[in-house]
Amino acid sequence: MCFQRPAVICVFCRGDRFRPLQPPWPEPSGGSNLFLSIPFERSHDDSARVFVRVIPTAGGQVAPFFLSHRWALSTTTGAALAFVHFGGTGAPRVFHTDSIRVELLSGDGKSVLTQTTFRIDFLWVRSDARLVTITADTMAFASVPVELRCSVSVNGRPRMVTTPVSMAVPAGALVTIRPLLGSGGSISDLSIGGWGLDGHSAGRGATLSFRAIGQRVVGAHFVRLRESPR
């Protein structure tokens, strides 16, 4: 019997008697490896050896870029630990999936007894790449996000982007961001008020340069020209 509760998502209503107790929300929301802890319950009379496996999907399709470890269930309650690695043959530098499929496998690992899918967004980045996230906002009484055209140079090769944006670059690459303001830019009445890099102040120059060591988060903060300090 399956008791539907708000915090319980029942995977099996066909007598297989296994259910994850909650969606396995990942933290953080991007990277090359994903570790999940999935609390579960099994019926006390179900002693068969089975396995849990998680598979990322995009638009309902399974991509061939992942290595997923399966976890044996040998108790009636507990947490199934799942591990997924991104970076198989032909994997792009960055890849987005919108769901995680949780499967219950037979003891020989050959049959999928049942499955359920959780809507979970994850941005996969190869281990030889780093994710750079760029946002822009105006500084007033409250922070207001703005769309801003920027030139982003990666190892001397520029490209145009519009904030907010996340992009994968080679690990260790030199990244330089230059907002396009005024003539030819997307916003003509803004002046740079300051940069933020990984939550820390990074000056007030016309551009920001840094090395892509680890995942980097950039915030470009602007003021209206009439509000610019003298």
Q: 109-146, pLDDT tens digit by residue?
A: 778 887 888 888 888 899 899 989 999 988 766 678 88
Say if CB 187 and CB 162 are below 8 A apart: no
Res 29: pLDDT: 65
- Identify the CA nearest to 104 among candidates 72, 77, 75, 79: 72
Fold classification of 18-125 (topology level) = Immunoglobulin-like (2.60.40)
What strands lie across the sheet with 157-162, from one edge to the other?
Answer: 157-162, 149-154, 174-179, 208-211
Task: Give CA–CA dist 41/105, Å, rounded.
Answer: 16
Res 88: pLDDT: 76
Res 187: pLDDT: 58
CA distances from 10 to 65, 88, 115, 142, 226 (A): 28, 32, 10, 42, 57
Give the residue with greater pLDDT, 163 vs 69.
163
Tokens of 58: 């995009």
Type of residue numbered 19: R
Q: For the segment 47-91, what is each residue's pLDDT rounded down to a tens digit?
A: 567 788 889 999 999 988 998 887 777 666 667 778 889 987 789
Task: Give CA–CA dist 36/210, Å, rounded.
Answer: 32
Res 28: pLDDT: 53
Give the residue with greater pLDDT, 225 vs 79.
79
Tokens of 99: 């769901």
The CATH number fitting domain 129-227, selected from 3.40.50.970, 3.40.50.360, 3.30.465.10, 2.60.40.10: 2.60.40.10
| Whole-prediction pTM | 0.66
Q: For the segment 93-113, what is each residue's pLDDT rounded down to a tens digit?
A: 889 999 988 888 877 777 888
Res 223: pLDDT: 77
Res 197: pLDDT: 93
Residue 203 DSSP class: -
**Is residue 45 pLDDT above 50, yes or no?**
no
Tokens of 153: 């140079």
Q: Where are the domain boundaries for CATH 2.60.40.10 in the chain?
A: 129-227
